[in-house]
Amino acid sequence: MAVLLKPWHRRLLLAAAGAAGFLVLVHLILFFMPYPELDQYRSRSYGLAVRDRNSRVLRVFPADDGVKREWAPLDTIPPGAVRVFIRSEDRRFYFHPGVDIISIAGSALRNRRAGRTVSGASTVTMQLARLIRPHGGGMRGKAGEAWDALRLEAKLSKKEILELYLNGIPFGSNIEGLPAMTRARFGRDINRLDDSQALLLAVVPRRPGLYDPANNPETAVTAAVALADRCGLSLSEGDLRRAALEASNSGDPEKAPFRAPHFTERLFQTIRSNTAVSAGEKGTPPVSLASTLDLGLQGYAEERLAAELSGLEQNRVGSGAMLAIENDTGAVRIYVGSKSWFDDESSGKIDGVRVLNQPGSCLKPFLYAMALDRGFTAAEILPDLPTIFGGGEAYIPSNFNRRFNGPVRLRLALASSLNIPAVYTLERLGVGAFEEYLVSLGFDSIRGRMGSHGTGLALGNAEVSLEELVRAFSAFPRGGEPAEFRWTGDDRYNSNIEGNTRSLMSSQAAWLISDILSDRASRFSGFGPAPSLNTPFSAMFKTGTANQFQHIWALGATRRFTVGVWMGNFSGETVVGRTGSSIPARIVSDILSAMEGSGETRFTADRDHPGGPVPAGLSEAAVCSLSGMAAGPFCGGAVSEWFAPGQEPGRCSWHRAAGTLVYPAEYQSWLTERFRMGGTDRESGGGAIRMPRPGSLFYLDPSLPPEAQGVRIETAGFASGAMVYLNGVLQGAVNQAGVFMLPLSRGQHEVIVEDQFGSMASVYFDVR
């Protein structure tokens, strides 16, 4: 049955429908109406929070206009904090269209009764509208603000409005937005803001100079207590006072984090210089960047470097730098640019990781890697003799200890960092070819000075950076390929920082260099026991000192990590009083220990060769320790060496029957000079083992660990650095007193001692 409406009912329905249609039309007009100020506001820059790999904040950079302003999506802001701000500013936020008529009426009534303005009626949307398009006040300004609020409600959802508002509230002190204010007053991310802290911050926008808890904690607490009652929160005044005390503590470093400044500055400048990246995707700026840095390791590295530098002021070592990476990924874990960013006396703001300095012997591993790739073997005999190199200008290198060792195997020449064999090798390979080899490993600093280095390049006369050295050194544990550094967890930003390199190093050469630089016995003659290089896990090391002692270096690597340290002065002043390369070596060793002793790598590193598994094609053979040829029946001692297919040497021709040793002709002058200067007797050999006596019997003490027990080998008549072999295996070299401590192990043993002149002696003994 049809329902008949009275005429006034029909008129009422038509009026309602017309009003609804009118509102829809107005909404559509407002939605499509251009609002350029809103677009500009939404695209403004925000600060960049750089974090470490575990999300700990390293540093927060201000926005482009210098304001402390951070962005946080609404769903990362605690709901309790959101409710507090809505209750404080606009309790009917979700129910009005941008303008609250009820609030306007109530405010007008209260102001009329008071005879002055005692309350406003601005909604959250109106406050946001004023932030987007500021005005000078008055009725005209308020009318424009209300109009803009209606436009905002038509264009944005309530969530979007609230998000823009909370990220843009002015708090004074050059701080905008709740996320930035949370960090500035409580030293934490917005997602950790609790209710008492939110209450204190919610009252600040009313009058920042009066209610900021950092400046007026009592006033802020009083206002926050009243707001807590309105919000129905059961917080005590004591809770709010504790929060206010925290806000007023200006000494909290978390409120203005400034960690790894050279690293974060580099990231920030690189990202900001790329307009596309800076603007982000679809207008959203990058506001939080997860880097690869490990803050725990970074802090330890800074402390370790500072501790060493504090004891070197009298030696004129004013600064240092450190870089450590993860080999598999290239992730930068440690980046120390100087002794201290704030130390202006030593130019602390200079980034020592990127400064070019002469690396000394640190280039030798790359030279010998190239030699191995060009047909040399690790047993290749190189001359360590007084030699004049060069054409128009004579170049006469010498070793660090001013001694000449005659014929030395390539392994010993590199492990002991001998200078003359390195220059000799470079002469054979060619300076230009070595420059190209270095460029292929990422030494871009050499690219612009090709042809200007001469044979001094073997000893590090080129200027390179610590960054280049660490990247190239990582090629050894990485099978010949230098690491591509990763600075952040987002590859969009990594691609803008480093380019690609094309390595010329083979996996076999990389592994052999790793093996040589981790060979403790081979470096003994050059460095002695070198306790700083003896780690509880397998590691490779190389140190370097610039020609005039301005710079001291150390590089180290395990299978997993590569570390480099530079120490010296940005001014180029020479280091005085000590040679120093053992100092950065100690730091590198300690840093590797810290990195290998953390996380999933712990207790496994000792089983890993720095170069990884032996590459296919390399095979092991016994060679004469003196000639580098295949060990024969007359050789005093044999050592193991690795060879590529077809490179195995012929039988030793130096050692002959009846103990005769015949050196090649090129070593005769050196040999004669050595004997003239007081070496061993050419005919008798002169060397003898005084202890133990032949046929001695030793017993292991069951109450002591085996590693704490040893046999004292005492010698006389040998040249310095004579090598000690146990059952044909090289153990090390005697010290200056001619003594060597040999670890005990059960069985029958033969000990042979031989020096570089062929003087040899042996003894048998038993251990039970």
Residues 417 and 317 in one domain: yes
Judge whether residue 452 has pLDDT over 80.
yes
Judge whether residue 378 has pLDDT over 70.
yes
What is the percent of the chain where pLDDT is above 70?
Answer: 81
Between 335 and 28, the more confident residue is 335
User: Within a domain: residue 646?
Assistant: no
Residues 244 and 344 in one domain: no
> What residue type is 598 in one-letter code?
S
Distance CA 662, CA 59 (A): 67
Between 143 and 299, the more confident residue is 299
Tokens for 741? 């401590």
Between 545 and 8, the more confident residue is 545
Tens digits of residue pLDDT in 485-534:
999 987 777 754 444 557 889 999 999 999 999 988 777 666 766 777 88
| CB hemisphere CA count around 29 (13 angstroms) | 9
* CATH number, residue 72: 1.10.3810.10
Domain stops at, among 572, 607, 642? 607
> Model confidence at 712, in pLDDT bands (50, 70, 90)?
confident
Judge whether residue 707 has pLDDT over 90.
no
- pTM of the shown model: 0.82
Residues 227 and 134 in one domain: yes
Chain length of the chain: 768
Tens digits of residue pLDDT in 593-634:
999 986 444 444 445 899 999 999 999 999 998 899 999 888
pLDDT confidence of residue 605: 46
Residues 355 and 448 in one domain: yes
pLDDT confidence of residue 18: 60
Tens digits of residue pLDDT in 538-553:
999 999 988 666 789 9
Tens digits of residue pLDDT in 31-83:
667 788 999 999 888 999 999 999 999 999 999 899 999 999 999 999 999 99
Judge whether residue 276 has pLDDT over 70.
no
Contact, 588 vs 555, CB < 8 A?
Answer: yes
Distance CA 382, CA 411 (A): 10
* Average pLDDT of the chain, as a whole number: 83
User: Within a domain: residue 138?
Assistant: yes
Distance CA 46, CA 30 (A): 28
Separation in Å, CA 473 to CA 247, 395, 483, 523, 667: 47, 28, 9, 18, 34
Q: Strand pairing partners for 691?
A: 714
Judge whether residue 589 has pLDDT over 90.
yes
Judge whether residue 400 has pLDDT over 70.
no
Look-up: residue for tokens 């200008």?
393
Environment class of 510 (CB within 10 Å of its CB; exposed 0-12, middle 13-18, buried 19+): buried
Tens digits of residue pLDDT in 157-209:
999 999 999 999 999 999 999 999 999 999 999 999 999 999 999 999 999 99
User: Within a domain: residue 265?
Assistant: no
pLDDT confidence of residue 283: 40
Domain stops at, among 589, 607, 625? 607
DSSP letter for each residue of 721-756: T-EEEETTEEEEE--TTSEEEEEP-SEEEEEEEE-T
> Model confidence at 282, in pLDDT bands (50, 70, 90)?
very low
pLDDT confidence of residue 278: 46
Residues 329 and 476 in one domain: yes
Between 293 and 45, the more confident residue is 293
Distance CA 475, CA 350 (A): 27
Least confident piece of the model among 485-494, 518-527, 674-683, 746-755: 674-683
Residues 131 and 229 in one domain: yes
Separation in Å, CA 451 to CA 364, 370, 396: 18, 18, 20
Average pLDDT estimate for 408-421: 92
pLDDT confidence of residue 104: 67
User: Within a domain: residue 614?
Assistant: no
Residues 367 and 241 in one domain: no
Distance CA 758, CA 683 (A): 10
Of 359, 507, 366, 552, which Cα lies nearest the Cα of 441?
A: 366
Residues 50 and 179 in one domain: yes
Average pLDDT estimate for 87-111: 77
Residues 595 and 709 in one domain: no
CA dihedral of 197, 202, 207, 213, whole degrees rounded to 10: 0
Give all strands (DSSP E) within 63-130, no chain letters.
68-69
Judge whether residue 314 has pLDDT over 90.
no
Q: Which residues form the domain of 57?
A: 41-255
* CATH number, residue 336: 3.40.710.10
For 681, other C-beta atoms within 10 Å of its C-beta total: 12
> Model confidence at 536, in pLDDT bands (50, 70, 90)?
confident
Least confident piece of the model among 283-297, 306-320, 395-409: 395-409
Domain stops at, among 607, 629, 652? 607
Residues 195 and 330 in one domain: no
Report the range out of 187-201, 398-412, 495-509, 734-748 with the highest average pLDDT: 187-201
Residues 389 and 315 in one domain: yes
Distance CA 458, CA 344 (A): 35
SS3 content of the chain, % helix, strand, coil (to 5): 40, 15, 40
Judge whether residue 647 has pLDDT over 60.
yes
* CATH number, residue 728: 2.60.40.10
Of 348, 347, 323, which Cα lies nearest the Cα of 565?
A: 323
pLDDT confidence of residue 641: 94
CA angle, residues 478, 484, 488, in degrees to nearest 5: 125
Between 267 and 99, the more confident residue is 267
User: Within a domain: residue 34?
Assistant: no
CA angle, residues 253, 254, 258, in degrees to nearest 5: 65
Strands 319-326 and 561-568: antiparallel
Distance CA 704, CA 449 (A): 60
User: Within a domain: residue 17?
Assistant: no
> Model confidence at 216, in pLDDT bands (50, 70, 90)?
very high
Contact, 745 vs 628, CB < 8 A?
Answer: no
User: Within a domain: residue 581?
Assistant: yes
> How many structural domains are present in the chain?
3
User: Within a domain: residue 672?
Assistant: no
> Model confidence at 441, in pLDDT bands (50, 70, 90)?
very high
Residues 235 and 316 in one domain: no
pLDDT confidence of residue 312: 79
